[in-house]
Amino acid sequence: MTDAIVLDEVTKRFGGIAAVDTLSLSVPSGSIYGFIGPNGSGKTTTLRMIMHILLPDEGTIEVLGSRDTGAARDQVSYLPEERGLYKKMTVRRLLRYYGRLKGRSLAEVDAAIAEWMPRMDLPGVLDRQIETLSKGMAQKVQFIAAVISKPSLLILDEPFSGLDPVNAQVLKDAVLEMRSRGATVVFSTHDMGTAEKMCDRIFMIFRGRKVLDGSLNQIQEEYGADTVRVRTAGGAGVLSGIPEVDSVNDFGQLQEVRLKGDPQAFLKHLSARSDVYRFEVTRPSLQDIFVRIARPQEQEQADRRQETGAA
C-alpha cells in the first residue's frame, strides 16, 4: 500500500519555539488515521502543514505522491476546527463555491449536493442562510463542503466536537463511507473512545514530538498488561496502601489500577481487605495511555505554580 502522506523530519517554529519538532510520519492510503494529543501540542499545526496552509521550516512533506503539496490541492479537503463557513451565504451557494474551487464543474457539484444532503439528514436547508442553522447542522454542512469535491484525502480537525450523539453518529458513518470509497481520512480528536473505535492507526503528538504511532493493538502492547479493572465492596478507599498499586483511575463503580508489582499478589492483598466482585487483568485504554504521557506536564506545571507561589 502506498502512503497518502509522508512527513520526513518536519519542524515548524513560531517565534523560536518548535510547535512541531523533527516529526516523521506515514499515513497509509485508504486508512483512517487519528491524531491525538493535548491542547497546544502541535496537532493543528501538523494538519495545516499537510494542507500546505503553513510551510515547514525544515523537513519535507509529501501528499498523494507530490512534494509540492499545492499540486495535490484539488484532491485534498480540509475541515477546520472552527466553522469555516460564510454566515450570510446560503448553503447552496457555499457548497457550489467550495466545490468549484476544487476544480469541479457546477454539474458535478450539484450532483454531489443532491447525494449528500439527504445522507446527512439535512432536508430543505439548501436555500437557508448559514447563520440560521444550528451548530450541528452547520457542522454537517461543513463536512459536506469538505467531501463535495470527492477528495482522495480528507483532513478533519476535531470533526465530532460539540455534536449530540445522533449527529456525531451521522458524521462517523459519513467518515466510514468516505473510507469505503477509497479516501484516506485523517482526523484529530480529544475523544479517545472515538479514536479507539474508528481509527486504523493512531498517532499522538506531545510538545511537538511524536510519542505514539501505530495501531491500537501495537500501542497497547507497548504499554504492557499492567492494568487491572476492579470492582470491590470497599470502592477506591481499600486500594490505598496496597504495595503493588502504582496509580488509580477511579470511575466510581469501577477502578482502573496500574500496578507496579505482580497482579496475583495484588489480588491477595485486595481480597484480604474487601469482597472483590470483579477483577480483570487488561491492557491500558488509550485514555490511560494518553494521561500517562500527558500528566507529567500537568504535574510539572503544578510544581512550578507552587514554586512561584512560595517565592
Partner 1 sequence: MTKILIVAQSEFATLVRSKAFIVTLILMPVIMGASVFIMRMTRDATDTNQRRFAYVDRSGLVGRVLEAVAEVRNQTAATDGLARFEPVAVSPVGRSNDDLRLELSDRVRRKEIFAFVEIPPEIVDPDSSSEIRYYSDHPTYQALPDWVQVTVNQAVLSERFRAAAVDPALVARLTKPAALGSVGLFERDDSGAVRAGEEVDEFRAVGVPAAMMVLMFIVITASAPQLLNSVIEEKMNRISEVLVGSVAPFELMMGKLLGGVAVSMLLAAIYLAGSLGMAYYYGYARAVTPVMAAWFLLFLVMAVLIFGSMFIAIGAACNDLKDSQNMMTPVMLFMMVPVFTWGAVLRAPEGTVALVLSLLPTAAPFLMLLRIALQPGPPLWQVLLSVTLMVLTSVAAVWAAGRIFRTGLLMQGKSASISEMIRWVRQG
Contact 198, 172 (CB under 8 A): yes
84 interacts with partner 1 by CB under 8 A: yes
Residues 135-164 that bind partner 1 (CB under 8 A): 145
40 interacts with partner 1 by CB under 8 A: no
Q: Min. distance of Cβ 152 from partner 1 in angstroms?
A: 14
The residue among 77 and 232 lying less far from partner 1, judged by its C-beta, is 77
From 74, 108, 200, 226, residue interacting with partner 1 (rule: CB under 8 A): 74
Q: Min. distance of Cβ 59 from partner 1 in angstroms?
A: 19
54 interacts with partner 1 by CB under 8 A: yes
The residue among 51 and 205 lying less far from partner 1, judged by its C-beta, is 51
Helical segments of the chain, H only: 43-50, 91-101, 106-119, 135-147, 165-180, 192-198, 216-222, 263-273, 286-310
From 52, 172, 179, 231, residue interacting with partner 1 (rule: CB under 8 A): 52
From 6, 89, 126, 281, residue interacting with partner 1 (rule: CB under 8 A): 89
85 interacts with partner 1 by CB under 8 A: yes
- The DSSP line for 78-106 is EE-SS----TTSBHHHHHHHHHHHTT--H
Q: Min. distance of Cβ 79 from partner 1 in angstroms?
A: 8
119 interacts with partner 1 by CB under 8 A: no
Q: What is the dihedral sign for C-alpha 201, 69, 65, 97?
A: positive
187 interacts with partner 1 by CB under 8 A: no
Residues in contact with partner 1, total (CB under 8 A)?
A: 30
- CA 109 – CA 123 distance, rounded (Å): 17
Q: Are strands 184-188 and 32-36 parallel, antiparallel or unpaired?
A: parallel
Query: Which phi and psi (to 5°) does residue 120 adopt?
Result: -90, 10
Contact 227, 283 (CB under 8 A): yes
The residue among 55 and 302 lying less far from partner 1, judged by its C-beta, is 55
53 interacts with partner 1 by CB under 8 A: yes
Query: Which phi and psi (to 5°) does residue 20 adopt?
Result: -130, 130
46 interacts with partner 1 by CB under 8 A: no
The residue among 73 and 210 lying less far from partner 1, judged by its C-beta, is 73
User: Buried b vs exposed e over 144-154: b needs ≥16 C-beta within 10 Å?
Assistant: bbbbbbbbbbb
The residue among 127 and 307 lying less far from partner 1, judged by its C-beta, is 127
> Grid coordinates standing for 262?
505482580
Contacts to partner 1 by CB under 8 A: 48, 51-54, 70, 73-74, 76-89, 93, 97-98, 100-103, 145
